[in-house]
Chain A
């Protein structure tokens, strides 16, 4: 769908993007992750053709990205804003027209959306008379009204109460089901696993990780398990080449251990070692969350930079 190749963006004092390549597959929800100031906004602005990269190429459906693609992209910026003095309906029609919709078509679709989100009574209200959450809802509609093939959402849930956040999330999923590719930019990881098929992690102007969520998690599985057991005999001897004990919690004969199995061994080997000594109640693999991976990768690059200095 969208392919960024070797993008470099240089500002006067710093390099905002350093040789970043990203592939966004069609019909997926793509998480663009990274801490503040990593370069996410620069990438989004380049995709929106607000700014141009110093070098590198961007392909939209295998065509060089050009102004004609603007109408196929919908963009919800992190910093929301609308003309405060303008009426909701009027403003929506104006924004839709700028995206190439006819006035009639814009009206028709607005009626559909306003009814769907139950905000039909807002048509003649001024933006400044709406609450912040209401404004966000209006702006979300403005983003998707022209039925873009690529929707870019920069922190779409900020400013919403949980109820409305859920409504917006459902709408995003529905748009995705109907064929839209979605770029979801955030530095909040909770929703990423729930929503994203693929992610790219940007830090310090560089892409440090990308791929499907499943693949990345598998990559970061490091044979860590949590095992509940009841000791049958004396104390279990954890002095073994099989694993390292990370945590131990015990209450009478109930024991919970968190272990990291050493690379040359498997879970089966560990179980074989433990079963004679205890009754196994539960074995759970600890899969790293995207959050953990994010923290790990970001602090790791941080360390590297420090060491280099």
Chain B
């Protein structure tokens, strides 16, 4: 037992002390946050860039007054003759264009949009919406429908989905958020199982190639060495995840402290409250777009609060660990059987097939029907459950299923480790022998 501890210690410390470990620990959260910031920045920038000036040649002499410039489009009244303006336009930059509104606009419901290069779809859509609104208003008016009436017939049905739990209580749920979390978990588990599994394999190939294996094996049992390596690298993985959580929380904290000043925060809070009271008093009244987005943000936050993060994180650690133990044992067997990493690929592909399959399915069947037959079965089979069960968990899985799946996972781990250890003890001492499946089967059958 003491020797296993020594092996675990070495495997753990040599990896944690590496510069690459520190680098990934701090870089990965930074990259994620950077990507997040980058996406926001780029979206904002693309909005800025798409801002364009539209010269309106209005033959109706009516529509122009009803067009409101927005942050994307500025409407400029143009009294010049259309042909003349077209000639002028050729000398201007690409962001300028002409909207020609013919006299019979209200009847024909068509306009011409002229620009130097291909028109921006977003701008076109905005112009179309504005014109539609103008026509609609005109028609409402002609039918004698006042703004008052329109306000009162506007409806906005909200569906509050609630799940009935085993104990009969209902909780709010949101499918989109569950989907998002599911996919994130699927990707995270898939990548990390591969990452740490192949680290185990590489470590074993290194020991075999450097021939230190014989020295170590004369001091400890092969099984001790294999388990020590698997556990040591598993702990590296857990450390990495724990550090990522800590670093992300700190970085997010720092970012919100520096980027959002306190006043702004307070302002926002006030706004939210005001809007909420407004919402309560004039329900159904069309609000400005900013109110709507704020409302949806508040909704998302309240929905996020319904997500059971402790359960998800707890299950993540259980199923990641279980999956890691199963797959790293298989990777260990492969590592012991080959002399180089390139030779290993013929074995790693078949053993990781179930993982790959479940990963691919998680974007389709699993996420669309998380409680269907396929998903339920996959979440019980130990080779697929690390991904399948984690995909299902955000949608709510009965506790007994989680427990049964976890138990099966442990049994699966014991089984694969037993097989792997039998191949490993022979494989590590075989040099230069091209391992085939037949050969592996023979090794497996050897008496110790």
User: Which residues of A are at the interface with B, using a C-beta cutoff of 8 A?
Assistant: 12, 45, 48-52, 54, 67, 70, 73, 75, 77, 79-86, 94-95, 97-99, 139, 142
A12, A49, A83, A98: which contacts B6 (Cβ < 8 A)?
A98
A–B pairs, 21, beta carbons within 8 Å = A45-B429, A50-B214, A50-B429, A52-B448, A67-B221, A73-B218, A75-B214, A75-B215, A77-B211, A79-B211, A79-B214, A81-B211, A81-B214, A81-B215, A83-B212, A84-B210, A86-B14, A94-B6, A98-B7, A98-B219, A142-B215
Contact A94 B10 (CB under 8 A): yes
B442 in the interface, Cβ–Cβ < 8 Å? Answer: yes
B37 in the interface, Cβ–Cβ < 8 Å? Answer: no
Q: When A81-B212, A82-B212, A84-B210 are in contact, do A97 and B6 touch as well, CB less than 8 Å?
A: yes
Q: When A52-B448, A54-B447 are in contact, do A83 and B210 touch as well, CB less than 8 Å?
A: yes
Besides the known contacts A48-B218, A51-B429, A79-B431, 9 further A-B residue pairs in the complex with CB atoms under 8 A apart: A50-B429, A70-B219, A75-B218, A79-B214, A81-B215, A83-B206, A83-B207, A83-B212, A98-B7
Question: Bound complex: CA of A80 vs CA of B212, how far in Å?
Answer: 7
Contact B218 A49 (CB under 8 A): yes
Contact bitstring B75-97, A, C-beta under 8 A = 1, else 0: 00000000000000000000000
Question: Bound complex: CA of A77 vs CA of B210, how far in Å?
Answer: 12
Question: Bound complex: CA of A77 vs CA of B213, how far in Å?
Answer: 10
Question: Bound complex: CA of A21 vs CA of B354, how far in Å?
Answer: 50
B187-231 at interface with A (beta carbon < 8 Å):
206-207, 209-221
Question: Bound complex: CA of A257 vs CA of B89, how far in Å?
Answer: 120
Q: When A12-B442, A85-B14, A86-B14 are in contact, do A98 and B216 touch as well, CB less than 8 Å?
A: yes
> Which bucket holds chain B's interface residue count?
20 to 34
B258-293 at interface with A (beta carbon < 8 Å):
none
B139 in the interface, Cβ–Cβ < 8 Å? Answer: no
A residues in contact with B219, CB < 8 Å:
70, 95, 98-99
> Which residue in chain A gives the minimum CB-CB distance to B219?
A98
A residues in contact with B216, CB < 8 Å:
95, 98
Question: Bound complex: CA of A140 vs CA of B217, how far in Å?
Answer: 17
Contact B212 A50 (CB under 8 A): no
A51, A52, A85, A95: which contacts B215 (Cβ < 8 A)?
A95
Contact A50 B6 (CB under 8 A): no
> Which residue in chain A gives the minimum CB-CB distance to B445?
A12
Contact B14 A50 (CB under 8 A): no
B residues in contact with A98, CB < 8 Å:
3, 6-7, 216, 219-220
B residues in contact with A52, CB < 8 Å:
447-448
> Which residue in chain B gives the minimum CB-CB distance to A75?
B218
Q: How far is the CB of B435 from chain A (nearest CB, A)?
A: 13
Question: Bound complex: CA of A89 vs CA of B10, how far in Å?
Answer: 13
Q: How far is the CB of B183 from chain A (nearest CB, A)?
A: 37
Question: Bound complex: CA of A67 vs CA of B3, how far in Å?
Answer: 13
Question: Bound complex: CA of A70 vs CA of B14, how far in Å?
Answer: 26
Contact B210 A82 (CB under 8 A): yes
Question: Bound complex: CA of A262 vs CA of B209, how far in Å?
Answer: 56
A residues in contact with B214, CB < 8 Å:
50, 75, 77, 79, 81
Q: How far is the CB of B433 from chain A (nearest CB, A)?
A: 11
Question: Bound complex: CA of A94 vs CA of B6, how far in Å?
Answer: 8
Contact A50 B211 (CB under 8 A): no
A residues in contact with B210, CB < 8 Å:
81-84
B residues in contact with A81, CB < 8 Å:
209-215
Question: Bound complex: CA of A41 vs CA of B6, how far in Å?
Answer: 28
Contact B218 A80 (CB under 8 A): no
A residues in contact with B207, CB < 8 Å:
83
Interface SS of chain A: loop
Q: How far is the CB of B112 from chain A (nearest CB, A)?
A: 71
Q: Output the residue of B214, B216, B218 with the most chain A CB within 10 A.
A: B218
Question: Bound complex: CA of A77 vs CA of B7, how far in Å?
Answer: 20
B residues in contact with A94, CB < 8 Å:
6, 10
Question: Bound complex: CA of A248 vs CA of B214, how far in Å?
Answer: 53
Question: Bound complex: CA of A284 vs CA of B213, how far in Å?
Answer: 50
B1-28 at interface with A (beta carbon < 8 Å):
3, 6-7, 10, 14
> Which residue in chain B gives the minimum CB-CB distance to A79?
B211
Question: Bound complex: CA of A73 vs CA of B215, how far in Å?
Answer: 11
Q: How far is the CB of B211 from chain A (nearest CB, A)?
A: 3
Q: How far is the CB of A80 from chain B (nearest CB, A)?
A: 6
A residues in contact with B217, CB < 8 Å:
48, 50
B residues in contact with A79, CB < 8 Å:
211, 214, 431
A residues in contact with B7, CB < 8 Å:
98
A70, A82, A85: which contacts B218 (Cβ < 8 A)?
A70
Question: Bound complex: CA of A82 vs CA of B210, how far in Å?
Answer: 6
Question: Bound complex: CA of A51 vs CA of B447, how far in Å?
Answer: 10
Question: Bound complex: CA of A84 vs CA of B206, how far in Å?
Answer: 9
B residues in contact with A77, CB < 8 Å:
211, 214-215, 218
Q: How far is the CB of A189 from chain B (nearest CB, A)?
A: 25
> Which residue in chain A gives the minimum CB-CB distance to B10?
A94
Question: Bound complex: CA of A54 vs CA of B447, how far in Å?
Answer: 8
Question: Bound complex: CA of A264 vs CA of B10, how far in Å?
Answer: 69
Q: How far is the CB of A156 from chain B (nearest CB, A)?
A: 14
B residues in contact with A86, CB < 8 Å:
14
Question: Bound complex: CA of A95 vs CA of B6, how far in Å?
Answer: 10
B residues in contact with A99, CB < 8 Å:
219
Question: Bound complex: CA of A51 vs CA of B10, how far in Å?
Answer: 25
Q: How far is the CB of A95 from chain B (nearest CB, A)?
A: 7
Contact B442 A80 (CB under 8 A): no
Q: How far is the CB of B199 from chain A (nearest CB, A)?
A: 14
Question: Bound complex: CA of A231 vs CA of B429, how far in Å?
Answer: 64
Question: Bound complex: CA of A67 vs CA of B222, how far in Å?
Answer: 13
B residues in contact with A51, CB < 8 Å:
429
A residues in contact with B442, CB < 8 Å:
12
Q: How far is the CB of B381 from chain A (nearest CB, A)?
A: 34
Question: Bound complex: CA of A189 vs CA of B15, how far in Å?
Answer: 44
Question: Bound complex: CA of A50 vs CA of B429, how far in Å?
Answer: 9
> Which residue in chain B gives the minimum CB-CB distance to A54?
B447
B residues in contact with A50, CB < 8 Å:
214, 217-218, 429
B residues in contact with A82, CB < 8 Å:
210, 212, 215
Question: Bound complex: CA of A19 vs CA of B243, how far in Å?
Answer: 58
Q: How far is the CB of A48 from chain B (nearest CB, A)?
A: 4
> Which residue in chain B gives the minimum CB-CB distance to A73?
B218
Question: Bound complex: CA of A45 vs CA of B217, how far in Å?
Answer: 10
Q: How far is the CB of A170 from chain B (nearest CB, A)?
A: 23
Q: How far is the CB of B380 from chain A (nearest CB, A)?
A: 38
> Which residue in chain B gives the minimum CB-CB distance to A51?
B429
B residues in contact with A85, CB < 8 Å:
14
Question: Bound complex: CA of A81 vs CA of B220, how far in Å?
Answer: 16
Question: Bound complex: CA of A75 vs CA of B217, how far in Å?
Answer: 10
Q: How far is the CB of A104 from chain B (nearest CB, A)?
A: 15
